[in-house]
Amino acid sequence: MKRSPFLLAAFSVVFTFLLGPFLIILIASFSGDASMAFPPKGFSLQWFQKVLDVRMFRDAFWTSLQLAVASTVSALVLGTPVAYALVRFKFRGQNIVEILFSLPAIVPELVLGFGLLQYFALRMNMPIFPGLYFGHTAILFPYAVRVVSTSLRNFDPAIEEAAISLGASRLKSFLLIVMPNLRAALLAAFILAFITSFNNVSVSLFLTGPGVATLPIQMLAYMEMYFDPTIAALSSIIIVITFAIVQIAERTFGISQHI
């Protein structure tokens, strides 16, 4: 390919704005100084050590992890049959149902968060973690439906009919024939939903409360009080883990074609 100066300029702009911030955070997290600065002064691993030492980060990490796993699994368990029904059957009001199911992804998350706060916490007096769990399941559900139905649309319905004609009931053919072929799509949906939940701020902001906070909320709270590179170190850890998970999933299952 010819290297035109224009292309080079475009590349550097994209690089600066897209990857630049990550680079700065990565570098800053190894700072030897107690305040956030770029370029950092000195080199140390003390901020990584601090991340591991601070109790509230450890607690928040576990909360976020449990929340992400629980709500992602629930969204997939609920979303897969819905996706199946939407793709395989034609029924009246299908469009309306489809729009209804994608609402949580369309409504601004702040509005959704506020609504859920009103409903779960104030009206139903629900404890914090269940509230978070239902809220996250709601925002992940449309992703699950979307990813799974895209994959189902590319799955020849004749394959299912073949299984049925060979003596499998509809349920059996779904479990034995359709599900194994959705594996990559389910994994893609899982990762996408997991990351979405793990990183969510706006909905969690309304639903967290005394004693229970997700990691992003805890990070915000911490930053309001301290401005040292701990947050940068924590961010670096999250970036590296996320990147690694996505890379492994891509190499093994080629998940990008499902998103």
Partner 1 sequence: MAFLELTNLQVGYERGSSVLSDFHLTMEKGELVSLLGPSGCGKTTTLRTIAGFIEPSRGQVLINGRDYTKTPPHKRNIGLVFQSYALFPHLSVFENVAFGLRMRRVNNTDIRRRVTAALTMVDLIGFEKRLPTQLSGGQRQRVALARAVVIEPDLLLLDEPLSNLDAKLRVGMRAELHHLQRQLGITTVYVTHDQVEAMSLSDRVLVMNKGKIEQEGKPEEIFYRPATPFVARFMGFDNQFAGHVKSINDNQIEIIAGTCRMVARPHFIPNVRVGDPVDVLFRPEVAQLARAPSENAIPGEIVFRTFQGSTGEYLVRSALGEFTVALAETTPSFTPGAIYVVIAPENLIVEQHIEE
Token code pair at residue 65: 């992890």
Contact code string over 175-194 relative to partner 1, x by CB under 8 A: --x--xx-------------
For residue 139, the Cα-to-chain-centroid distance in whole angstroms is 10
Helices marked H in the chain: 5-18, 20-28, 46-53, 55-88, 94-106, 109-116, 128-153, 157-165, 170-173, 179-181, 183-199, 202-207, 215-225, 230-253
Q: Phi and psi of 146, rounded to 5°?
A: -60, -50
Pick the closer one to partner 1 by CB: 162 or 245: 162
Rule CB under 8 A: is residue 224 a binding residue for partner 1? no
Of 13, 23, 111, 162, which one interacts with partner 1 (CB under 8 A)? 162
Do residues 147 and 185 touch, judged by C-beta distance below 8 A? Answer: yes
* Terminal CA-CA length for the chain: 29
134 Cβ contact partners less than 8 Å away, ≥ 6 residues apart: 116, 120, 126
Q: Which of 23, 100, 103, 159 binds partner 1 (CB under 8 A)?
A: 159
Convert residues 107-146 into a mask of x (bound to partner 1 by CB under 8 A) and - (unbound): ----------------------------------------
Cβ closer to partner 1: 107 or 164?
A: 164
Please pick, from the candidates 118, 169, 247, 252, the single residue that binds partner 1 as defined by CB under 8 A: 169
Which of 28, 148, 163, 233 contacts partner 1 by CB under 8 A? 163
Per CB under 8 A, residues contacting partner 1 are 156, 158-159, 161-170, 172-173, 177, 180-181
